[in-house]
Chains A and B, each alone.
Chain A
Amino acid sequence: MSTETATDFTWNYAPAPEAKDHAKIKKQYDLFINGEWVKPSSKKYYNTISPSTEEVLSSVAEANEKDVDLAVKAARNAYEKVWKKMPAKERAKYIFRIARMIQERSRELAVIETMNGGKSIRESRDFDVPTAANHFFYYAGWADKLEYAFPNRNPKSLGVAAQIIPWNFPLLMAAWKIAPALATGNTVVLKPAESTPLTALKLAEIIQDCDLPPGVVNIITGFGKTGAAMVNHPDVNKIAFTGSTDVGKIIQKSIAGTNKKVTLELGGKAANIIFDDAPINQAVEGIINGIFFNQGHVCCAGSRLFVQESVAEEVIQKLKSRMETLIVGDPMDKNTDVGAINSKEQLLKINEYLQIGTNEGLELFQTSCKVPAKGFFCKPSLFIGAAQSNRVVQEEIFGPVLTIQTFRTIEEVIEKANNIPYGLSAGVWTDKGSKIFNLTSKMRAGVVWANTYNKFDPTSPFGGYKESGFGREGGLHGLMPYLSF
């Protein structure tokens, strides 16, 4: 017997895979229109895969203009005949029911979210699904209190909302869109992203089980063309889009001259600023959480790190060491920190940016982890010694790639942080309260986190400045885009 154990104890965590047998995925999904599953008039279906294994999970319908028209008509009909007339407190009950049903099926939703989207089960289980349920709970509470939210302004619903959501938080984005729309008395046609339709379709099943009046929520699948048809449909009153800035600009052009209201939540390139008086170890954690959360597929990801010169060396050393402890791989494993990149196209785009940064002469650091041979994976990456003019600093990469710049003075960092076409979010790390207030008031960003990062709550509004879009989602402010006064 000995008391001394080996000094280099390696402790690879044994696989701890989440079971998937309870997750029911149909072989084929039709369009959810007017409370029923309807075959697409295009007769076309396409496969949706798991980005971590590349296996086909299901095939889903591709909606064409006719299908979009059918969905909008169903929504219009439900709006005029049922939803508009329903007492607000009755509407609220339905929304509560959806929230509770999401909670009841949270495990299945989390598993499907991870299978279809590639994000780690830890995140879909602990963040995506509970936050989605919370959004429904929160907005259910507002439904019969709109007069109190906007006193003397006589808030009225708009009609039919066309909602197009991205692939990074498929279920959560659906909740962000549907919950306030229903609470304010609108009906909905929602299109999930082409690569991640499954949890939205699961939500359609939940909505069916909740006995929501037919046509109040319609969920249709398809590609960009389907989305364009939704945007251009003459009977749509409101467009809510979350996605890329390029598409946002197209939407903006195509609705010019119409009466459609619009909210756009677009790209971002957030500055995460670390001062020398910050709690450095927690700041390092915040950097990790800011950029590697959801593989960096977060519009508000803290992708531009600004570190005060005097602590730069220390922060970079600690950051590298911390990155080495990230577990990259099978997203279904409960211990995985960083899962799969959402699609092959996205992985190619990220790899292209890694090449661009290297060609620009930046020092690239990647963790020494092994990534699975199958599926789309990217090692957590850092570009050290970046400058404001580097393309990897200016353009949104939407992947686990962080650029590091240093600064000396507070004026300098404010100027650099704001010197970007985007303005969605920012982070600031310092122990000094006055510095936080000084800086946050000067940041041109919709959300500024102090001594934390990537925190979301249904009660808190979210949205951007400049090319990051306009309109707010979440909180009291999130009701306004769905109301006329």
Chain B
Amino acid sequence: MKADLRNSPVVDQVGIEERVARFNTRSLKKQTKVNGLKLALSMIDLTTLEGKDTEGKVKQMCYKAIHPYDDIAGLPSVAAVCVYPKYVKTAKQALEGSTVKVASVATAFPSGNSTLEIKISDTKFAVDNGADEIDMVISRGEFLKGNYNFVFDEIAAIKEACGKARLKVILETGELSTLDNVRYASDIAIHAGADFIKTSTGKIQPAATMPVTLVMLEAIKDYYFKTGIMIGMKPAGGISTAKSSLQYLVMVYETLGPKWMSNQWFRFGASSLANDIILQLAKEKNGVYFSKDYISID
């Protein structure tokens, strides 16, 4: 299909916010809630992206990814762990035999202010070490300058470097300032070859918000209507409660439909969300809340 990005549709912010408010009035109870929470748990990309990361921390996180909370039977493992390229090998070894994927940020994360050569070699390093998924950042500076072709070409080049690894394109919506920009960046990323589009690095505020995510879901939906090709979505940063994860799921369910309700097509980039989901699932099971001290913080 020929991409005509000049016709990227406009977005009405008031309308988006009203729609989000409607999603948030949905009342999820009983089994619906439990099913939703388990699904949300299985969609988490457990993340550690800090300068002070250690191999030990990554290993512990991988264990947690496979065994989120063994006291509750039938809990799924999370979707993936997300680490810097340096720790991909460690994570890959720690996750061997499990279905948990290894995602790695690359392309001079989080600012992306480097040369294409470095970004490609960063990506290749992660892929060669066994990364299943690459989370790249777009060049926001070039985007805001209006240099859209540059952004497009860069994504396409990284996609090529990814080989078989799935590519998530981080728009860093907190730096894009308008929803129209978010929509346009989404369309560029999708047409340039993104398998997933992702809101944020987690390093900039605001990170993921529901209005921004809805705009991106609409871009995915419009592309699906035109081509029949599914693109994944990953809001990241700032989603820390079970309740808000359910609100996101309602939004995905009612915007894209049941097909997207799997961790193949939807992810949460989060570190503390898993524990709140576990807490709520334990409450549904036991009828009472227990102390957070019963849940490991890895």
**A, B assembled together:** yes
Question: In the complex, what's the smallest C-beta–C-beta distance from B27 to chain A, in angstroms?
Answer: 4
- CB within 8 A of A452: which of B9, B15, B99? B15
Cβ–Cβ contact B66 & A1, under 8 A: yes
Binds A, one of B107-115, B140-148, B253-261, B281-289: B253-261
Knowing A279-B9, A285-B18, A334-B27 are in contact, say whether A5-B100 is a contact too (CB < 8 A). no
Cβ–Cβ contact A10 & B258, under 8 A: yes
Cβ–Cβ contact A126 & B25, under 8 A: yes
List CB contacts (< 8 Å) of A89-142 with chain B. Answer: 122, 126
Binds B, one of A12-20, A173-181, A366-374, A463-471: A12-20
Knowing A1-B77, A277-B10 are in contact, say whether A6-B262 is a contact too (CB < 8 A). yes
Closest to A317 in B: B225
Cβ–Cβ contact B12 & A8, under 8 A: no
Question: Which residues of B sit under 8 angstroms from A11, Cβ to Cβ?
Answer: 32, 35-36, 249, 253, 258, 261
Question: Which residues of A sit under 8 angstroms from B297, Cβ to Cβ?
Answer: none
Asked if A4 is at the interface of the complex by the 8 Å CB criterion, the answer is yes
Question: Which residues of B sit under 8 angstroms from A451, Cβ to Cβ?
Answer: 12, 14-15
- CB within 8 A of A9: which of B11, B31, B99, B258? B258
Closest to B218 in A: A281
List CB contacts (< 8 Å) of B251-289 with chain A. Answer: 253-254, 258-259, 261-264
Cβ–Cβ contact B263 & A281, under 8 A: no
Cβ–Cβ contact B79 & A13, under 8 A: no
Question: Which residues of A sit under 8 angstroms from B25, Cβ to Cβ?
Answer: 122, 126, 334
Cβ–Cβ contact A1 & B76, under 8 A: yes
Give the size category of A's interface with B.
Answer: 35 or more
Closest to A453 in B: B15
Knowing A126-B25, A334-B27 are in contact, say whether A7-B259 is a contact too (CB < 8 A). yes
Knowing A8-B258, A14-B29 are in contact, say whether A3-B14 is a contact too (CB < 8 A). no
- CB within 8 A of A3: which of B10, B26, B28, B100? B100
Question: Which residues of A sit under 8 angstroms from B259, Cβ to Cβ?
Answer: 7-8
Question: Which residues of A sit under 8 angstroms from B262, Cβ to Cβ?
Answer: 4-7, 9
List CB contacts (< 8 Å) of A281-322 with chain B. Answer: 281-283, 285-286, 314, 317-318
Question: In the complex, what's the smallest C-beta–C-beta distance from B188 to chain A, in angstroms?
Answer: 18
Cβ–Cβ contact A286 & B15, under 8 A: yes
Asked if A420 is at the interface of the complex by the 8 Å CB criterion, the answer is no
Within the assembled complex, what's the spacing in Å between the Cα atoms of A343 and B30?
A: 33
Within the assembled complex, what's the spacing in Å between the Cα atoms of A359 and B217?
A: 39
Question: Which residues of A sit under 8 angstroms from B98, Cβ to Cβ?
Answer: 1, 3
Closest to A277 in B: B10
Question: Which residues of B sit under 8 angstroms from A334, Cβ to Cβ?
Answer: 25-27
Question: Which residues of B sit under 8 angstroms from A16, Cβ to Cβ?
Answer: 27-29
Question: Which residues of B sit under 8 angstroms from A8, Cβ to Cβ?
Answer: 258-259
Question: In the complex, what's the smallest C-beta–C-beta distance from A120 to chain B, in angstroms?
Answer: 11
- CB within 8 A of B15: which of A2, A122, A285? A285
Question: Which residues of A sit under 8 angstroms from B18, Cβ to Cβ?
Answer: 285
Within the assembled complex, what's the spacing in Å between the Cα atoms of A195 and B12?
A: 39
Cβ–Cβ contact B26 & A13, under 8 A: yes
Asked if B104 is at the interface of the complex by the 8 Å CB criterion, the answer is no
Asked if A431 is at the interface of the complex by the 8 Å CB criterion, the answer is yes
Cβ–Cβ contact B26 & A279, under 8 A: no
Question: In the complex, what's the smallest C-beta–C-beta distance from B286 to chain A, in angstroms?
Answer: 20
Interface size of B in residues (CB-CB distance below 8 Å) = 46
Within the assembled complex, what's the spacing in Å between the Cα atoms of A151 and B229?
A: 65
Closest to A10 in B: B258
Question: Which residues of B sit under 8 angstroms from A280, Cβ to Cβ?
Answer: 9
Within the assembled complex, what's the spacing in Å between the Cα atoms of A325 and B250?
A: 11
List CB contacts (< 8 Å) of B84-142 with chain A. Answer: 98-101
Asked if B19 is at the interface of the complex by the 8 Å CB criterion, the answer is yes
Cβ–Cβ contact A3 & B101, under 8 A: yes
Question: In the complex, what's the smallest C-beta–C-beta distance from A10 to chain B, in angstroms?
Answer: 6
Within the assembled complex, what's the spacing in Å between the Cα atoms of A46 and B222?
A: 53
Question: Which residues of B sit under 8 angstroms from A281, Cβ to Cβ?
Answer: 9, 11, 15, 218, 221-222
Asked if A335 is at the interface of the complex by the 8 Å CB criterion, the answer is yes
Cβ–Cβ contact A279 & B100, under 8 A: no
Within the assembled complex, what's the spacing in Å between the Cα atoms of A2 and B97?
A: 11
- CB within 8 A of B76: which of A2, A13, A282, A285? A2
- CB within 8 A of B11: which of A4, A15, A279, A318? A279
Closest to A326 in B: B254
Question: Which residues of B sit under 8 angstroms from A122, Cβ to Cβ?
Answer: 25
Cβ–Cβ contact B42 & A5, under 8 A: yes
Closest to B219 in A: A281
Cβ–Cβ contact B36 & A335, under 8 A: no
List CB contacts (< 8 Å) of A217-241 with chain B. Answer: none
Q: Quick one: CB contact mask for A450-484 with B, threshold 8 Å, 1 for yes?
A: 01100000000000000000000000000000000
Asked if B189 is at the interface of the complex by the 8 Å CB criterion, the answer is no
Asked if B176 is at the interface of the complex by the 8 Å CB criterion, the answer is no
Asked if B78 is at the interface of the complex by the 8 Å CB criterion, the answer is yes
Knowing A2-B76, A3-B77 are in contact, say whether A325-B15 is a contact too (CB < 8 A). no
Cβ–Cβ contact B27 & A5, under 8 A: no
Cβ–Cβ contact B264 & A7, under 8 A: yes
Closest to A289 in B: B18
Question: Which residues of A sit under 8 angstroms from B101, Cβ to Cβ?
Answer: 3
Question: Which residues of B sit under 8 angstroms from A286, Cβ to Cβ?
Answer: 15
Question: In the complex, what's the smallest C-beta–C-beta distance from A317 to chain B, in angstroms?
Answer: 6
Q: Name, among B9, B98, B259, the residue most crowded by chain A CB atoms within 10 Å (CB to CB).
A: B9
Knowing A5-B263, A122-B25 are in contact, say whether A279-B76 is a contact too (CB < 8 A). no
Closest to B222 in A: A281
Asked if B39 is at the interface of the complex by the 8 Å CB criterion, the answer is yes
Cβ–Cβ contact A4 & B99, under 8 A: yes
Question: In the complex, what's the smallest C-beta–C-beta distance from A481 to chain B, in angstroms?
Answer: 32
Question: In the complex, what's the smallest C-beta–C-beta distance from A328 to chain B, in angstroms?
Answer: 14
Cβ–Cβ contact B15 & A3, under 8 A: no
Within the assembled complex, what's the spacing in Å between the Cα atoms of A335 and B25?
A: 8
List CB contacts (< 8 Å) of A227-284 with chain B. Answer: 277-283
Asked if B157 is at the interface of the complex by the 8 Å CB criterion, the answer is no
Cβ–Cβ contact B261 & A5, under 8 A: yes
Q: List 24 A-B contacts (CB under 8 A).
A: A1-B66, A1-B77, A2-B99, A3-B77, A3-B98, A4-B264, A8-B258, A9-B258, A9-B262, A11-B36, A11-B258, A12-B32, A14-B31, A14-B32, A15-B29, A277-B10, A281-B222, A282-B19, A285-B15, A318-B225, A334-B27, A335-B27, A431-B10, A451-B14
A sample of 7 more A-B contacts (CB under 8 A), given A281-B15, A452-B15, is A1-B76, A13-B26, A14-B31, A122-B25, A279-B9, A282-B14, A314-B225
Seen from chain A, the residues whose Cβ lies within 8 Å of a Cβ on chain B are 1-16, 122, 126, 277-283, 285-286, 314, 317-318, 325, 334-335, 431, 451-452
